[in-house]
């Protein structure tokens, strides 16, 4: 069994998603089941509905699970096993107050020593504290394990003192619940962030105390750095999977990027299923890797190119394959769905011909736009055959308007695309021609406002 264990206390970031992807791939490669374990033991910080958001996101990325459990459903089992450890004299009640422990931490800090729990403190406040915690006895020998990324790791007994496994409210701690549930569900391999490296020997200690002899495999992923080179935090927008999706990055492109991050892949662009044939967790670099949004943009464009016109149309909220083809053409100058939607919105929105943005070096094309607009409307209304292809349209408009050069092409581009620059009109017109009645429209409010301003200026 492989597992991904998100906490419903916040959004999934790319480090979480990367771990989920790797666990999923290994499950598929080894023909094992993939478990989602919602780690909801932090009752005070759990966010209502966040578990559903997480599951929806995993489903969107195609990380389909075989089993789903909530850690809180196993609280009774956690408590029973904690009592078992007390009976075996491998755990004990600790009555130390938080204030007492904090004073001992301050003492250690003043003496410039690492804080270590002393078992002699356990019953000092027994008569005043009615809600003890349960602590497991610390390690008595070295705890070692093989990390598929970091190699052989060892932790000495003084690094693993007696730590809390059941809190004063009866809720298991992260390490105890995690270790017990890995045991209960027969987890064989764990891929997670390197911030959990120090938790692993504690969880192994719990397994040993419970008599669990199975040796789990581990791989602790190096941290992801922001573009500035410092550790990526939640304040970095790109760390949020939801933000990346909102920006118009495809799930398959994000997966492609996260798998190739700090990894040597046999091909540059691939789908999740293709990676099953060659992915090896041991090839992931040990050192931190910097998040590269430009690289993700490149991969996103490549995955968008793989879509057919109908698939592309659906992504830009249309059912018309011609819109999909038009969207696909814009991959020459755009990399995300948002950028393409912006281009399409300008094409289909009423055109504001009165704005200064229509011109260059102080020039504007207001009058030319009005001339071409009137002719185009007449041609559209009469279903003129010259509308069928770009060359015929261009020649007919030039002849009827007596416009040429920039005074012709700029206004025509504005009326057809809402922009003064972009793809060649001859390239995109074969798709625009199906929607001319929707495209060739003017923003009447902007014209009215412009006329009102002109009238007021004359009065002044």
Residue ranges for the known binding site are: 234
Cβ-contact 14, 291 below 8 angstroms: yes
Residue 217's alpha-carbon distances to 19, 57, 148, 220, in angstroms, are: 14, 27, 8, 10
* DSSP tally for the chain: helices H, then strands E: 19, 12
* Count of beta carbons in the 10 Å neighbourhood of residue 12: 22
Place of tokens 């199906």: 434
Hey, is 210 helix, strand or coil? coil
Element spanning 367, H or E: helix 366-381
CA distance 107 to 297: 52
CA distance 34 to 23: 8
* Count of beta carbons in the 10 Å neighbourhood of residue 423: 17
| Residues 6+ away with beta carbon under 8 Å from 173 | 41, 163, 164, 165, 166, 167
CA distance 188 to 177: 16
CA distance 217 to 187: 9
Tokens read off for 153: 């790791």
Q: For helices 390-401 and 406-417, what crossing angle results, to 10°?
A: 120
* Binding site feature residues for ATP: 234
């Amino acid at each position: 069994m492989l597992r991904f264990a998100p906490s419903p206390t916040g959004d999934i970031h790319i480090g979480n998603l990367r771990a989920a992807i790797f666990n999923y791939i290994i499950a598929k490669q080894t023909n094992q089941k993939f478990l989602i374990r919602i780690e909801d033991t932090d009752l005070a910080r759990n966010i209502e509905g966040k578990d559903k958001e997480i599951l929806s996101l995993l489903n969107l990325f195609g990380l389909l699970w075989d089993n789903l459990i909530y850690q809180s459903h196993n609280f009774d089992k956690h408590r029973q096993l904690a009592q078992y450890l007390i009976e075996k004299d491998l755990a004990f009640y600790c009555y130390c107050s938080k204030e007492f422990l904090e004073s001992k931490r301050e003492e250690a800090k003043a003496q410039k020593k690492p804080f270590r729990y002393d078992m002699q403190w356990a019953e000092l406040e027994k008569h005043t504290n009615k809600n003890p915690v349960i602590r497991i006895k610390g390690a008595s020998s070295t705890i070692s394990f093989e990390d598929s990324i970091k190699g052989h790791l060892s932790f000495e007994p003084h690094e693993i003192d007696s730590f809390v496994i059941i809190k004063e409210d009866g809720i298991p701690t992260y390490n105890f619940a995690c270790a017990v549930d890995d045991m209960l569900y027969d987890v064989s391999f764990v891929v997670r962030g390197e911030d959990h490296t120090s938790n692993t020997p504690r969880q192994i200690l719990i397994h040993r105390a419970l008599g669990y002899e199975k040796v789990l495999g581990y791989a602790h992923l190096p941290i992801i750095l922001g573009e500035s080179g410092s550790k990526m935090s939640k304040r970095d927008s790109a760390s949020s999977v939801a933000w990346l999706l909102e920006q118009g990055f495809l799930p398959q492109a994000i997966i492609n990027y996260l798998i190739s991050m700090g990894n040597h892949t046999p091909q540059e662009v691939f789908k999740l299923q293709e990676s099953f044939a060659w992915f090896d967790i041991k090839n992931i670099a040990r050192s931190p890797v910097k998040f590269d949004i430009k690289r993700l943009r490149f991969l996103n464009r490549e995955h968008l190119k793989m879509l057919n016109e109908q698939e592309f149309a659906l992504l830009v909220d249309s059912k018309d394959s011609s819109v999909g083809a038009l969207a696909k053409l814009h991959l020459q100058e755009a990399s995300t769905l948002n950028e393409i939607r912006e281009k399409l919105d300008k094409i289909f929105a009423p055109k504001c011909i009165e704005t200064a943005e229509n011109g260059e070096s102080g020039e504007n094309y207001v009058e030319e736009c009005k001339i071409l607009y009137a002719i185009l409307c007449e041609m559209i209304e009469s279903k003129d055959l010259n509308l069928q292809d770009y060359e015929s349209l261009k020649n007919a408009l030039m002849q009827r308007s007596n416009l040429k050069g920039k005074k012709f092409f700029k206004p025509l581009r504005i009326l057809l695309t809402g922009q003064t620059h972009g793809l060649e009109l001859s390239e995109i017109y074969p798709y625009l021609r199906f929607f001319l009645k929707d495209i060739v429209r003017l923003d009447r409010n902007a014209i009215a406002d412009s006329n009102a301003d002109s009238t007021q200026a004359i009065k002044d």
